[in-house]
Amino acid sequence: MMGICPNCKIKLKEPPFNGRETNEVVLTLKYRKFIENKSKLGTINDLGYCELCNASKDDLEGQK
């Protein structure tokens, strides 16, 4: 499996979790839905959170 979010590149199995989605199957299905609909995913810097896994900027910074 991938182990990272395809949108924001956060590692799924490492804290902080803070209510974000860590299930790779669910993330893959959400990602496929965006790709199949030719929708563009917003960046975590623009939105403040990841549209796929719901990670925030603070979660991403806390993992570094």
Residue of 26, 23, 61 lying closest to 44 (CA atoms): 61
Enclosing domain of residue 53: 1-64
Q: At 52, list the tokens.
A: 């796929």
C-alpha gyration radius of the chain: 11
Report the pLDDT value the prediction gives residue 33, as an integer from 0 to 100: 94
Predicted confidence (pLDDT) per residue in 12-59, tens digit: 999 999 889 999 999 999 999 999 999 889 999 999 999 999 999 999
Report the pLDDT value the prediction gives residue 21, as an integer from 0 to 100: 92
Report the pLDDT value the prediction gives residue 1, as an integer from 0 to 100: 53
Structurally, the chain folds into a number of domains equal to: 1
- Amino acid identity for residue 39 in this structure: S
Beta bridge partners of 56: 49
Cα 12 to Cα 26, 36, 37, 58, distances in angstroms: 12, 23, 25, 15
